[in-house]
Amino acid sequence: MATHDRRFDFDFIVIGSGFGGSVSAHRLTEKGYKVAVMEMGRRWTPSNLPHTSWSLHRWFWRPRLGLRGFFNMRFFRHVTIFHGCAVGGGSITYATTLLAPPEKVWQAGSWSGLADWKVEMPQYYTTASRMLGVSENRILGPADHLLRRAAQASGSGHTFYATNAGIFEPPEGQPGGQTCPDPFFGGEGPARTTCVGCGGCMMGCRFGAKNTLDLNYLYFAEKHGGVIFPETKVVDVRPLGGVNDGSAGYEVRTVKSTARIFRHPQRFTCRGVVFSASSLGTMELLFHLKEKGSLPDISRRLGKHVRTNSESLIGARMPGWPEDLSQGIAIGSGVYIDEHTHIEAVRYPRGSDTMGLLTTILTNGQPGLRRVGLWLWNVAVSLVRHPWRTVRVLQPWGWAREFVILLCMQPLDGQIQMRWQRPWFWPFRKFLVSHGRKVPTYIRRANQFAEQFAALTGGFPMSMLPEILFDVPGTAHCIGGCVIGDSPDHGVVDHRHRVYGYKNMYICDGSVVAANLGVNPSLTITALSERAMSFIPRAAETAWNDAPSPTTHGHAETAGAVERGGNHRSSRVLS
Ligand SMILES: Cc1cc2nc3c(=O)[nH]c(=O)nc-3n(C[C@H](O)[C@H](O)[C@H](O)COP(=O)(O)OP(=O)(O)OC[C@H]3O[C@@H](n4cnc5c(N)ncnc54)[C@H](O)[C@@H]3O)c2cc1C
Ligand code: SF4
């Protein structure tokens, strides 16, 4: 730490504490840097997490309305995006599914050829999996067994698998809820309690069994001297001393994110900045800073290649089902009903029934007014045929206990663009506005599967109301917008995540992902961030002169920094 330049408050400021931000904070403190993490969301512990989703003020994030939770929904014309907002970013609300994508993703998109990804990445996935405590789920609940039966009935039973999850589960046959000293990091980490299979992962784990980032990466970042500023929103980042490329350091301005009147503005200085505010958050901040002149040289590729998995939420409700379908972990298992269609069994914990307000009778058909008409017809027919049961499945109470959500994903490359514009309905300020072709909300094969699933149990197949009414899909997996590219003409960062146009500035979050992954993205964001951080030299060795170098396809800059037994080294080799 002797290397810290006292003219600056910190060596590095990390903006956001999700997967990319936590990796950055941990690896930078480990290398001897003085690091601050600015996080807009609150810090959560088992004692202040909500018991059910009816505690809207502790679940939902809309601070201006007094809602200070950890889960946010952002509505765009093309997609509704779900994301986390907390110390630990999306890890507080995520379902813990941690999957590596197929190798072919490294040959697609603007990162193709910029590194020997297939050779380099496995070691970073291994490190990420170790840090996030990935293991195969052993707690299969009633919803998982039903998924297996439905897959068998449709001829795809052989594809059933238990998910890889980041949860501290008890040994086979033993009950959960046992507390023991750190089981993951040789006693260096916090004490942990084993999973009780309550299905509550997406409401935040009140048992300390989910491997959230505050229990691994951020825990070590703080242990090594990193400082986390919760409820602190970054509103400005500009180069210091009139040196436009940032080589003289940066000024970072913040406000208190949860305050409605006294916003407590603060100013910090640092030598380097890591943007880790998620795909949406980093795009939003960079658009704002580019336009206001704080960072005018950010590439014009900002906002391009935003990807959402092609996703559809369907399901089945089984009134009077003898088992509690909320038991298990949030996403316990999955199946592949055909080569392109992947379905996971998802649940909320008992009592968290608010999502039931958004589910309705399953409706087939192409999007548009016809589908809305068909939906009204289906509801009317169902009310005539089974009046009591139809009312029963349309009201929310008991929803989590009786419902199995089927999350259907297809690896279709649905790309949209985000621009910084005044929307027609609110011309007073600029926002992110989506453009491009709509991602389809109706996946016929998935609807058929929901019908088979419901038939098996005597339940009702169900759809999501917004998908039918507005033809807008929802996704928790928004990536891209600041993608890796060989030059500022093709990306916002180079393959080492260095921002084009600036020195000692990096982006480590889902926004850099340059291809459709086809699987949940958090493990990849973690692995990519591990790789990006491995190139940064130790604090004692840095010249504070790190800038992107345009690379041409086929002449990739090779990875010189490889983690070997925790010893990070850096060399810059140009082939
Ligand atoms: C309900 C749900 C379930 C999910 N389940 C899974 C799953 O099972 N598996 C999986 O792989 N993925 C899952 N995801 C997706 C996963 O959460 C994200 O892909 C992941 O968190 C993205 O990581 P990130 O590093 O890009 O940013 P995030 O983890 O989103 O973190 C960004 C952080 O930056 C903060 N921030 C934003 N702007 C600012 C600012 N201006 N100043 C300060 N702080 C700021 C935000 O508050 C946030 O905490 C799920 C998401 C949701 C919502
Ligand atoms: S199932 Fe319950 S105990 Fe297990 S990790 Fe999820 S929230 Fe925690």
Q: Which of 78, 477, 495, 568 is catalytic?
A: 477
Instruction: Say how many Å lie between the CA of residue 86 and the centre of ligand 1.
Output: 9
89 CA closest ligand 1 atom index: 49
Are 142 and 149 in contact, with CB atoms under 8 Å apart?
Answer: no
Task: Tell which one of 40, 93, 354 to mutate to probe ligand 1, the residue whose CB is within 8 A of the most ligand atoms.
Answer: 40
Q: List the beta bridge partners of residue 317.
A: 403, 460
Does residue 477 carry a catalytic annotation?
yes
> What digits encode the pLDDT tens for the residues 268-321?
999 999 999 999 999 999 999 999 999 999 999 999 999 986 678 899 999 989
Q: Ligand 2, atom 8: nearest CA belongs to which residue? A: 205
Q: Where are the alpha helices (DSSP H) in 339-443?
A: 369-385, 387-394, 399-402
The ligand 2 site (C-beta within 6 Å) comprises 167, 195-201, 205, 207, 209-210, 329
In Å, what is the CA distance from 351 to each residue of 96, 320, 421?
21, 16, 40
H, E, C per residue of 449-463:
HHHHHHHHHCCEEEE
d(CA 108, CA 86): 32
198 CA closest ligand 2 atom index: 2
Are 524 and 101 in contact, with CB atoms under 8 Å apart?
Answer: yes
Are 36 and 268 in contact, with CB atoms under 8 Å apart?
Answer: yes
Are 167 and 329 in contact, with CB atoms under 8 Å apart?
Answer: yes
Looking at residue 425, what is its pLDDT?
85
Cβ–ligand 1 distance for 233 under 6 Å, the answer yes
Looking at residue 563, what is its pLDDT?
37
Instruction: Say how many Å lie between the CA of residue 137 and the centre of ligand 2.
Output: 12
Going residue by residue through the chain, which has 575 residues, state the pLDDT in tens, using 9 for 90 and above: 447 888 999 999 999 999 999 999 999 999 999 999 999 999 999 999 999 999 999 999 999 999 999 999 999 988 889 999 999 999 999 999 999 999 999 999 999 999 999 999 999 999 999 999 999 999 999 999 999 999 999 999 999 999 999 999 999 889 999 999 999 999 999 999 999 999 999 999 999 999 999 999 999 999 999 999 999 999 999 999 999 999 999 999 999 999 988 899 999 999 999 999 999 999 999 999 999 999 999 999 999 999 986 678 899 999 989 999 999 999 999 999 988 889 999 999 999 999 999 999 998 877 788 889 999 999 999 999 999 999 999 999 999 999 999 998 877 777 899 999 998 888 999 999 999 987 777 788 889 999 999 999 899 999 888 888 888 888 899 999 999 999 999 999 999 999 999 999 999 999 999 998 888 999 999 999 999 999 999 999 999 999 997 654 444 444 444 333 333 333 322 22
Are 513 and 528 in contact, with CB atoms under 8 Å apart?
Answer: yes
Task: Tell which one of 477, 512, 516 to mutate to probe ligand 1, the residue whose CB is within 8 A of the most ligand atoms.
Answer: 477
What Rg value do the Cα atoms of the chain yield, rounded?
23
Task: Tell which one of 96, 210, 348 to mutate to probe ligand 2, the residue whose CB is within 8 A of the most ligand atoms.
Answer: 210
> What digits encode the pLDDT tens for the residues 20-67?
999 999 999 999 999 999 999 999 999 999 999 999 999 999 999 999
d(CA 289, CA 427): 19
Looking at residue 559, what is its pLDDT?
42
Residues 6+ apart with CB under 8 A from 136: 162, 163, 164, 165
d(CA 252, CA 486): 28
Residue in 17, 100, 13, 25 with CA at minimum distance from that of residue 530: 25
d(CA 159, CA 48): 39
Are 118 and 104 in contact, with CB atoms under 8 Å apart?
Answer: no
Ligand lying closest to the C-alpha of residue 96: 1
C-beta atoms surrounding 197 within 10 Å: 24
Residues 6+ apart with CB under 8 A from 296: 290
